[in-house]
Structure 1
Amino acid sequence: MSKPDVLCCTPFSPADIGRLSAQQTERLLGIALFGNDRIEARVACPVQHVGAPLLGGTLAGELWLGTGACRSGVHADIRYCVDELALYGVIEIDEPASSAQGSTPLQAAVADAYREIFALLDREGFPHLWRMWNYVPAINANSHGIERYRQFNIGRHQAFVDCARPPAHSPAACALGVAAGPVSIAFVAGRVAPITIENPRQLSAYAYPPEYGPRSPTFSRAVLVQLPAQELLFISGTASIVGHRTLHVGDVVAQTLESLANIAAVIEESRRFSLAPVRAEEFSYRSYIRHGEDFARVRAAVERELGETAAMSYVQADICRSDLLVEIEASASLAGANVRKTLA
């Protein structure tokens, strides 16, 4: 068979692992798996296990396929795979019982994890982070006198500063809460620097005022990656925020529609930079819903706005702000095959 020339991210269930062809198995860059299944013993690539329930019969996760045979490795606590274009890695960290004075255990653990990630990327020659997925237990709880999401932001920001990485050139990202388990971080990086894209309806997250914590969140609203055979657009976790304020507190339907309006604004902004047509129907989405009982209303709102055939998966998870009920992320391949296509 001819060598594939695009990166692919496809929905899958654990049973699909046994049905992969030899070529697909060689191309495995990484897997994101939601729920309680464990499959790491059956694959050589890194697996991000996210202990968050799926809603509405959504497939269990996403499987990243590289452009050719992948090489796997371990760096410190990170499992990773690389091909010619990209590196996919996963790190799970347990918070220490104590930390240095002036730093909470979560803050210290996150800073250490991000520094390990940057060291790996520099060593392997994939210095540019494209997309990150962060899952933090009890993200809205308070400990050591400060909310845990704010602790996470302090640790992440410190690593960016320590490693001389400007916040204005940060990757697309999300940070969600899970009930228990380690802090889990997955990431995709490459040799090509992404184009960062901001939302004209929102203040850039890294410029939030101090009321949201001692350090602002370090991520871009979206990034566009221009590769030889495709463009990848990663849109960060997006919520009902205009400027820097939460809108529609307590109204999950209105928050869903505002989140989709923000995603539409980012898609429109991306047209200024993309060399390929940006078509809304090429996007795939994931919706994180704080309360499982809101699933039917969120899905109905999504289908009214995007149509019943929109590629949307649904996960129950806590959102980074306690007054947010839903968050939606999106991604697409804007040239070549769709980045989230079904397994052949």
Structure 2
Amino acid sequence: MRGDKFMSTSTGTQLTLTYAPAATALNKNALRTKNILGIVLFNSQLTSGIGTDQNSGIIKTPLTLYGADICEIWSTTQPVIPGHYLDIRYRRSATLTLGSITLAITTPIDDGENINPPPIQSCAQEAYQQIFNLLQEIGHIHLLRVWNFLPDINGATHGLEHYRQFNIGRQGSFIAHDRLSEESSIPAASAVGTSSTNLVVHFLAGRDKSVALENPRQISAYRYPKKYGPCSPTFSRGGSLNLDQQHALFISGTASIVGHDTLHIDDVAAQTQESIRNISAVIDEANRVAGHHLHTLDTLNYRVYFRNIADLTIIQAELDRLIAPATKTLYIQADICRSELLVEIEATGGVVHS
């Protein structure tokens, strides 16, 4: 794959994230356009029957979006070709790859609770093993942004919470592929819970390396103490990517955590406020690293994951008060990685077109 003449002769790139009604994007066969990396769909009646074969570029998210049925369209200025590798379906240009992997999590009936390692841990390690092998093969070795969707993230089996099982498997692959030796290469990421029985991982990778960003208000997630599980979560608080003078910013799933402690338990308004303070701190760090005032709260777009439908209007009111986004805010119901967290917010900047 790496020797593809089409891929090796392309130069220059930009990355764009746009939004459209899902029906409009799909009816116009948007993926016939040669520059589309992928269309991200959320659960709805419209999208329930749509498949995800290797050529389609459709990336399905196993969560429900509240409000208008919107999809995300990721595109580039370079020609794009489809591909597959084992369980991964992806599309790539000369410098960027957008892909997805889905693995069924099944427990052998005869082993019950005694199976070791637990199925979620095994699936997480396998998913990242496939991703790293693919990226090495196509020469897009830098993992830029990851979205992880876990079944029953706060549930526990085999004596350990599912999110902690996932962290063990994920970190195992990072270690096996020597991707923890340089902290500046740890990607931005999110991990939320679903009612699916599958582990789903979406990823953006590229030929060019991003700069990992941390939040001075928080301990780096990969340095959390053992009280949060045998292995720390493997992600940075954000990532900054320069593409031909374009400054992309990826902010990881961000919640009401200061240091490593959860704040404002049972107060969704205060948790929303604290999440925005943390996002603002990552923006400040991105601007400091770049040496320019490139990003503000009002120039990003947001995915907002909320645990309880009753909290949605409170979260919306807080965000309407705190930020005036020029692009888009998507509200998605999901479980959050800590059971006491009610909201998690991720953001993207520098690549967004309305």
TM-score, length of structure 2 as denominator length: 0.89
Could you give the per-residue CA deviations for residues 177-231 of structure 1, whole angstroms, max 9, x where no partner exists? 0112411100000111111110000000000000000000000000101111311
Alignment partner, residue 49 of structure 1: 60
Q: Which 5+ residue runs of structure 2 have no aligned equivalent?
A: 1-10
1:18 to 17, 27, 34: 27
Q: 1:94 Cα deviation (Å)?
A: 0.5
**SS of residue paired to 1:273:** helix
Alignment partner, residue 352 of structure 2: 340
Alignment partner, residue 118 of structure 1: 132
**SS of residue paired to 1:119:** helix
Answer whether contact 2:52 2:60 (CA < 8 A) is retained. Answer: no
Alignment partner, residue 247 of structure 1: 263
| Cα separation, 2, equivalents of 1:54 and 1:88 | 21
Residue pairs, 1:1-344, within 5 angstroms: 5-15=13-23, 16-19=25-28, 25-36=33-44, 37-38=47-48, 39-40=50-51, 44-55=55-66, 57-98=67-108, 102-166=116-180, 168=183, 169-274=185-290, 276-280=292-296, 281-307=298-324, 311-333=328-350, 339-342=351-354
Q: Which 5+ residue runs of structure 1 have no aligned equivalent?
A: 334-338
**SS of residue paired to 1:106:** helix
Answer whether contact 1:240 1:255 (CA < 8 A) is retained. Answer: yes
Q: 1:273 Cα deviation (Å)?
A: 1.6
Q: 1:20 Cα deviation (Å)?
A: 5.3
Q: 1:4 Cα deviation (Å)?
A: 8.9
**SS of residue paired to 2:63:** coil
Q: 1:282 Cα deviation (Å)?
A: 2.0
Give the count of matched residue pairs. 333
Letter in 2 for 1:293: A
| Cα separation, 1, equivalents of 2:176 and 2:52 | 35
| Cα separation, 2, equivalents of 1:64 and 1:21 | 11
Q: 1:28 Cα deviation (Å)?
A: 1.5
Alignment partner, residue 5 of structure 2: none
| Cα separation, 2, equivalents of 1:25 and 1:59 | 22
Answer whether contact 1:236 1:329 (CA < 8 A) is retained. Answer: yes
| Cα separation, 2, equivalents of 1:157 and 1:174 | 15
| Cα separation, 1, equivalents of 2:196 and 2:28 | 31
Letter in 1 for 2:64: P
| Cα separation, 2, equivalents of 1:293 and 1:53 | 15
Identical columns (%): 40
Answer whether contact 1:48 1:185 (CA < 8 A) is retained. Answer: no
Answer whether contact 1:5 1:229 (CA < 8 A) is retained. Answer: no
Answer whether contact 1:231 1:276 (CA < 8 A) is retained. Answer: no
**SS of residue paired to 1:294:** helix
TM-score, length of structure 1 as denominator length: 0.91
| Cα separation, 2, equivalents of 1:114 and 1:262 | 28
Moved over 6 A (4+): none
